C-alpha cells in the first residue's frame, strides 16, 4: 500500500510513548514552588497541564502575567532533562510494526523541540509530523485540524479521550500512563490497551 492511502494514527507523547511523567513532576514541581506558597503535589503538575491554562492559573493562585514565564521554565527544564527519559518498554516495537500499515504522527502538550530530541536520541524516527500545543489550549480544536484521514488518537489521559471523541476519531486509551483504565473509559475510550503489544493488536484489526 502506498503511504498516502494509509490512515493516520495520532499519538500523545508524555505517558503514552515517553515514560516522562517522573521528570515532568520533578521539574514542574521545583519550578512551581518558586511561584506559589501553595503546596502542590508532584502528581498535580500533570493534572494541571491537562486542566488547561485558566484552571491551572486559578488553582495555583499565580498572577496571570507570571504564568507564561513559569510554563516556559518548566518546558525548558523538561527539554534539558529529556535525555533521562526512556520510551515505555515495548512501545518502540509497536511503533515500528504500526508504521508498516499506518502513517503515524504525534500531538502533544509538550514542546515539539523536546519531542524531536527524544525521537532522535531513541531512534524513533517513524512519525510524519509532530504538532505541539505548548500554551495548553484545549486539545480538541487543534486535533480536529490535523485529523483529516485520521483513524485514532492514542493517549493516556481523560482529556485525550475527550478530544478524540470531539473530533470524531477513535479514542484509544493506554493503561501505562497517568489516568486509570476506569477514568479513560468514563471519558469515552473506545479501546484500552493494557500494554504496547495490545495496542498493536487493537490497531491492526482496524486496518
Q: How many residues bind Mg ion (CB under 5 A)?
A: 4
Residue nearest Mg ion (C-beta atom): 15
Q: Rounded to the nearest whole angstrom, what is the least distance from the CB of residue 131 to Mg ion in the complex? A: 14
- Please report whether residue 14 would count as binding Mg ion according to CB under 5 A: yes
- Choose the binding region for Mg ion from 15-23, 27-35, 81-89, 116-124 (rule: CB under 5 A): 15-23
Q: Rounded to the nearest whole angstrom, what is the least distance from the CB of residue 16 to Mg ion in the complex? A: 5
When the beta carbons of 88 and 102 are compared against Mg ion, the nearer one is 88
Q: Rounded to the nearest whole angstrom, what is the least distance from the CB of residue 126 to Mg ion in the complex? A: 18
Binding mask 150-169 for Mg ion (x = CB under 5 A): ------x-------------
When the beta carbons of 38 and 84 are compared against Mg ion, the nearer one is 84
Which of 6, 15, 31, 74 binds Mg ion (CB under 5 A)? It is 15
**Contacts of Mg ion in 99-158 (CB under 5 A):** 156
> Whole-angstrom Cα distance, residue 12 to residue 157?
9
Tell me which residue of 142, 109, 146 sits closest to 129, measured CA to CA.
Answer: 146
List residues near Mg ion by CB under 5 A: 12, 14-15, 156
Amino acid at each position: 500500500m502506498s503511504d498516502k492511502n494509509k490512515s493516520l494514527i495520532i499519538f500523545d507523547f508524555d505517558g503514552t510513548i515517553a515514560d516522562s511523567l517522573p521528570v515532568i513532576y520533578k521539574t514542574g514541581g521545583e519550578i512551581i514552588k518558586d511561584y506559589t506558597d501553595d503546596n502542590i503535589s508532584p502528581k498535580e503538575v500533570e493534572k494541571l497541564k491537562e486542566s488547561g491554562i485558566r484552571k491551572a492559573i486559578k488553582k495555583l493562585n499565580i498572577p496571570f502575567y507570571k504564568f507564561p514565564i513559569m510554563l516556559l521554565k518548566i518546558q525548558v527544564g523538561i527539554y534539558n532533562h529529556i535525555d533521562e527519559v526512556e520510551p515505555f518498554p515495548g512501545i518502540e516495537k509497536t511503533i515500528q510494526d504500526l508504521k508498516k500499515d499506518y502513517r503515524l504522527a504525534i500531538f502533544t502538550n509538550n514542546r515539539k523541540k523536546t519531542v524531536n530530541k527524544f525521537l532522535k536520541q531513541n531512534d524513533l524516527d517513524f512519525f510524519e509530523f509532530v504538532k505541539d500545543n505548548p500554551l495548553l489550549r484545549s486539545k480538541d480544536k487543534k486535533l480536529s485540524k490535523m485529523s483529516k484521514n485520521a483513524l485514532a488518537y492514542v493517549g493516556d489521559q481523560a482529556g485525550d479521550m475527550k478530544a478524540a471523541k470531539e473530533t470524531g476519531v477513535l479514542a484509544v486509551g493506554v493503561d501505562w500512563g497517568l489516568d486509570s483504565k476506569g477514568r479513560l473509559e468514563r471519558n469515552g475510550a473506545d479501546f484500552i490497551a493494557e500494554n504496547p503489544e495490545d495496542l498493536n493488536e487493537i490497531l491492526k484489526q482496524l486496518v
